[in-house]
Chain A
Amino acid sequence: MDGINTSSSLSRRQFVVTAVTAAGGFAIGIGPARALPIAAQPWSPEAQDAHELNAWLIIQPDDTIVIRYPRSEMGQGSFTALPMMVAEELEADWSKVKAEFASANRNLREDLVYGKDMSSVGSHSVRDSHQQQQQVGASARVRLVMVAAKRWGVDPATCEAKLSKVHHKPTGRTLGYGTLAADAAKIALDKEPDIKAPEQFTLAGKPTPRLDVPLKINGTASYGIDTKLPGMVYASVIACPVPGGTLKSVDDAAAKSMRGVEAVVPLDNAVAVVADRFWRAKQAAHALKIEWDLGPGGATDSAQFAKDYRAALDGPGARARNDGDVDAAMQGPGKKIEAVYEVPYLAHAPMEPLNATAHYRPDRLDVWMGTQNALGTLRAAAKVADLPPEKVFIHNCFAGGGFGRRSANDEMNQAIRVSKAVGKPVKLVWTREEDIGQDRYRPQAAVRMKAVLAPDGTIAGWEMKTAVGSLLRSLGASKVETGIEPMAVEGLATNPYIVANTRVDCVLKNTHIPVSFWRSVGNSQNGFVIESFVDELAHAGGHDPYKFRRAMLTGKEDWLKVLDTVAEKAEWGKKMPSGKAQGLAILEAYGTIIGQVVEVALGPKGEVKVERIVMALDCGHAINPLTITEQMEGAAIWGLSAALYGKISVKDGRAVETNFDTYPVVRMADAPPKIEVHFALTGGKKWGGIGEPAAAPLAAAVCNAIFSITGKRIRQLPIRDADLTGPV
């Protein structure tokens, strides 16, 4: 924290060093106390540490190893998985490993030593880092061994690194890493050492408890919203409820007279009230009399959007995939089936409402927040503050959920402007109502599916056409000149089924409602659509949905392994009691194939209860099977929330739903008591993502089960809007 006035609350590290745990032990049980392997405030300093081996690693004299983690932790667990890969190559004693966030500022100043991308998006934290992380560990290990060999005057080849010590095998002598690190730091290698193949892993691959759990059971983990700074004030914001609208005028007389209020700061599309306490700021914000220029979006609603998206399906589109001759197939004989599927906007609603704490000074900007992309956030902050990026410091905190929302920095941009206006450190917090109202949503969409079945019930040809908002256009990232963005057609154009005649068309159509990445992104709607439609086709042709899929995946060993595993583990096809049924769906997202079988029970009033979820996945390699299992469980429940309840409706140009009373999500009673996750790994060059895939097929699996019970095909989400009453 050089160059900044700090209080004791900002001391950069509050390590609590206690006893150690079994290395990598899953069955940690209620055994001995284990270390707190990270600081409650996990960001690292931008300055060098005295015990650094390099920017990635600190090895302290007591052999404690601190690994700098270059991405974000919002619950997905790669804050544990990446250090495992470093420790794997480093031959580190995992019980003495700690982790902290790498500094984006230092990355910028030291020639991108942590890489040009520090993001946790697209389920890529592990799969795009494993080589880098292994190399960091291997390089350090080789240098530590060289130092030990030199001290002993022996051939390095006779030495072995193990459990944070170098052993001289012929004599049994050992030296701890802590005594070697200072000299190892001076060594430059001519060439980087080889890294292990996954088959050689000893730590990676074992279910390993998350490093951050000890801080998350006693309230000490520091989230952006927990930031405390000397002289800090609080800001509450009210933004124009209609996206794209702007501030016309504000009468702040009443607000300014309220206790604790220090300032009212008008922004382009919002007003911020600054006070000495958040509650006072919020109360005063609600006393503002604001006039908005709502803009052209103010007269729109969901029904109109739905009509427009359906109409867009009849207009021109861009071709994303074209195999064989679909037109000829469609004109041929056979049963023709057509269906339009529709999904609504969805909010992210992470448990920690968006917030940022900014301290702007003319020569320096500090920001504390949970961001999914510290380096991108730093660059964005520099622009807003009009400072060189080297003068901007992002103190990345644990994020209370991200799910794609914590990349756009809307909250930070406001915090910087307000801090600049009042000349103090400002913690700006969105209420839940602002968090949902100012979201960048999962897009609304309509997708038309058409197929013609051959006499044997197989698919002779099919075409899919989606009308959906462009994320990249909405974010201002690209004009998407081709008319196709991968997110719009993922799941459809990437479907694995062997059908000679396949066509996928894309119509990008945005409304004034901003859209962005939402856990599993385009797969979240397209997985529902294609896996529901495949189920329709199976039933229409008189085939079992599992066997129907299987026949279209001939020769695709990884798909078959996942499909067969999930079918076997779920006892697919077993007899179910009246009012209950199984449903199946399978999808590839972010390089991982995920198959799900759900068991659904339908209540007398049409209540949908998912009683069991069984999953199989192929992500190629598993670094931490425990966090992978947890992500599969959590993402499936994320998908279940969207399937059962998820809907942001638009009326008068604004989101109708404002909080968890109107935007319900799954709670304990809706969640199956146990979710079973089975690994069906095929290894090789495949490295699949973990955080998102299981969110995508769940809605289809549930709707397919509902069809089996009721004969009713749900083609609009959420399920709660469907009438499922009546005789079963």
Chain B
Amino acid sequence: MITLKVNGTQHQLDIEPETPLLWVVREELGLTGTKFGCGIAQCGCCTVHVNGEAMRSCSVAVGDVAGKDITTIEGLSHDSKHPVQRAWLAEDVPQCGYCQSGQIMAATAFLKRHPNPTDADIDAGMTNICRCGTYPRIRAAIHRAARLMKI
């Protein structure tokens, strides 16, 4: 049995410890906001927070994060009012939307390290893939979220 703490709730799970966290979150816990995109930590659709750090959950064994604080998009806020979510809404960022849970989780962790990000910081720190090409709007939303976080 593995003890997993996700969005503040403890779960006891009978699961192989090498199972990627992604599939545990999606199929055992039913939290499908975290998406499967590549399975090799390339695209970032599956980004969650582990102890506050952004991680690509498709390549994290669930056994390695037992007991740690895991946050998924569903746990980012109870009302979709996290500053990053508000900024995403204001900039009308998502198109197909499939990568956006991961983008938002990546941006939230990024902004903790870079509360006043430059474009160069964003280039270096935001590496998730969006096939719809929403990058200019993601960039604008990150700048907007940085401002919102100071209000």
For residue A29, CB closer than 8 A to chain B, the reply is yes
Chain B, interface size: which category?
A: 35 or more
For residue B35, CB closer than 8 A to chain A, the reply is yes
List of B residues within 8 angstroms of A429 by Cβ: 36
The DSSP consensus for interface residues of chain A is loop
Contact of B97 among A209, A221, A353 (CB under 8 A): A221
Does the CB pair A666–B133 fall under 8 Å? yes
Instruction: Give the distance to chain B from A532, nearest Cβ to Cβ, in Å.
Output: 22
For residue A672, CB closer than 8 A to chain B, the reply is yes
A-facing residues in B104-132 (Cβ within 8 Å): 104, 119, 122-124, 126-132
For residue B40, CB closer than 8 A to chain A, the reply is yes
For residue A219, CB closer than 8 A to chain B, the reply is yes
List of A residues within 8 angstroms of B137 by Cβ: 630, 633
Instruction: Give the distance to chain B from A209, nearest Cβ to Cβ, in Å.
Output: 5
Residue on B with the closest CB to A209? B92
Does the CB pair A210–B92 fall under 8 Å? yes
Contact of B138 among A661, A668, A669 (CB under 8 A): A668
Does the CB pair B92–A630 fall under 8 Å? yes
List of B residues within 8 angstroms of A279 by Cβ: 19-20, 23, 27
The DSSP consensus for interface residues of chain B is loop
List of A residues within 8 angstroms of B132 by Cβ: 75, 351, 401, 634, 638
List of A residues within 8 angstroms of B94 by Cβ: 75, 210, 212-213, 216-217
For residue A718, CB closer than 8 A to chain B, the reply is no
Known: A214-B80, A218-B73, A667-B128. A352 touches B35 (CB 8 A): yes
Residue on B with the closest CB to A436? B38
For residue A46, CB closer than 8 A to chain B, the reply is no
List of A residues within 8 angstroms of B39 by Cβ: 431-433, 659
Does the CB pair A213–B92 fall under 8 Å? yes
For residue B55, CB closer than 8 A to chain A, the reply is no
Name which of A75, A352, A661, A668 has the most chain B CB atoms within 10 A of its CB. A668
For residue B4, CB closer than 8 A to chain A, the reply is no
Instruction: Give the distance to chain B from A121, nearest Cβ to Cβ, in Å.
Output: 15
List of B residues within 8 angstroms of A671 by Cβ: 133, 135-136, 139
List of B residues within 8 angstroms of A636 by Cβ: 133
Does the CB pair A278–B23 fall under 8 Å? yes
B-facing residues in A412-439 (Cβ within 8 Å): 429, 431-433
A-facing residues in B75-98 (Cβ within 8 Å): 76-77, 80, 85-90, 92-98
Does the CB pair B32–A219 fall under 8 Å? yes
Does the CB pair A217–B92 fall under 8 Å? no
For residue A277, CB closer than 8 A to chain B, the reply is yes
For residue A506, CB closer than 8 A to chain B, the reply is no
Instruction: Give the distance to chain A from B119, nearest Cβ to Cβ, in Å.
Output: 5
B-facing residues in A620-668 (Cβ within 8 Å): 626, 630-631, 633-638, 640-641, 659-661, 665-668
List of A residues within 8 angstroms of B100 by Cβ: 216-217
For residue B8, CB closer than 8 A to chain A, the reply is no
List of B residues within 8 angstroms of A277 by Cβ: 19, 23, 27
Instruction: Give the distance to chain B from A694, nearest Cβ to Cβ, in Å.
Output: 10
For the complex, give the distance between the alpha carbons of A417 and B92 in Å: 39
Instruction: Give the distance to chain B from A646, nearest Cβ to Cβ, in Å.
Output: 12
A-facing residues in B129-151 (Cβ within 8 Å): 129-139, 148
List of B residues within 8 angstroms of A77 by Cβ: 95
Does the CB pair B23–A634 fall under 8 Å? no
For residue B31, CB closer than 8 A to chain A, the reply is yes
For residue A398, CB closer than 8 A to chain B, the reply is yes
Known: A278-B23, A351-B98. A634 touches B90 (CB 8 A): no
Does the CB pair B27–A278 fall under 8 Å? yes
Instruction: Give the distance to chain B from A219, nearest Cβ to Cβ, in Å.
Output: 2
For the complex, give the distance between the alpha carbons of A66 and B135 in Å: 32
B-facing residues in A209-246 (Cβ within 8 Å): 209-210, 212-223, 225-226, 228, 234
Does the CB pair B123–A668 fall under 8 Å? yes
Known: A223-B98, A634-B132, A637-B135. A400 touches B35 (CB 8 A): yes
For residue B43, CB closer than 8 A to chain A, the reply is yes
List of B residues within 8 angstroms of A675 by Cβ: 136
Known: A218-B80, A398-B96, A401-B131. A660 touches B38 (CB 8 A): yes
List of A residues within 8 angstroms of B133 by Cβ: 633-638, 640-641, 666, 671
For the complex, give the distance between the alpha carbons of A641 and B104 in Å: 22
For the complex, give the distance between the alpha carbons of A105 and B136 in Å: 39
Does the CB pair B80–A399 fall under 8 Å? no
Produce 1/0 per residue, A376-400, CB < 8 A to B: 0000000000000000000000111
Known: A28-B90, A278-B27, A633-B136. A669 touches B123 (CB 8 A): yes
Contact of B127 among A216, A667, A674 (CB under 8 A): A667
Does the CB pair B92–A660 fall under 8 Å? no
For the complex, give the distance between the alpha carbons of A75 and B100 in Å: 12
Contact of B85 among A75, A218, A221, A631 (CB under 8 A): A218
Residue on A with the closest CB to B22? A279
Does the CB pair A351–B90 fall under 8 Å? no
For the complex, give the distance between the alpha carbons of A666 and B30 in Å: 31
Does the CB pair A75–B95 fall under 8 Å? yes
Does the CB pair B23–A220 fall under 8 Å? no
Residue on A with the closest CB to B32? A226
For the complex, give the distance between the alpha carbons of A221 and B128 in Å: 19
List of A residues within 8 angstroms of B51 by Cβ: none
List of A residues within 8 angstroms of B126 by Cβ: 667-668
Which A residues are closer than 8 A to B by beta carbons? 28-30, 74-77, 209-210, 212-223, 225-226, 228, 234, 259, 277-279, 349-353, 398-403, 429, 431-433, 626, 630-631, 633-638, 640-641, 659-661, 665-669, 671-675
- Top 6 nearest A-B pairs (CB, nearest first) are A219-B33, A637-B133, A400-B98, A216-B97, A75-B96, A75-B95
A-B CB contact pairs (8 Å), 8 listed: A29-B90, A213-B93, A217-B85, A225-B36, A228-B30, A400-B97, A640-B133, A668-B139
* Extra pairs beyond A213-B92, A220-B33, A278-B23 (6, CB < 8 Å): A28-B89, A28-B90, A210-B92, A218-B33, A277-B27, A669-B123
